[in-house]
Amino acid sequence: MPKLPLLSGPELIKLALERGFLMERQRGSHVILSKEGRFTVIPVHGQKSLKTGLTLQILKDLGISREELLKK
């Protein structure tokens, strides 16, 4: 299986908005998104890439599989 690409906070937010999530609020460098009662928090520290474990957890919260991300 190919490696997971390194993604930044703004890139994950863009993916979430494409999937129908709404930006609820932002507190400092953390953006809170929601969709149908589900919430996820995405840290935004400029264009700094997020670590793999955190990226995988956010993708799980967004309902995006690893394979689906690699297709894009």
Who contacts 23 (Cβ-Cβ below 8 Å, separation ≥6)?
A: 13, 17, 31, 32, 33
For residue 8, the one-letter residue type is S
Let me know if domain 9-71 sits in CATH 3.20.20.70. no
- pLDDT at 1 exceeding the cut of 70: no
Q: Please report, for the chain, the start and end positions of each structural domain, with discontinuous segments joined by +.
A: 9-71
Q: Is the pTM of this model over 0.85?
A: yes
Burial of 39 (0-12, 13-18, 19+ CB in 10 A): exposed
Helix axis angle, 9-18 to 52-62, nearest 10° = 10
Segment 9-56, tens digit of pLDDT: 999 999 999 999 999 999 999 999 999 999 999 999 989 999 999 999
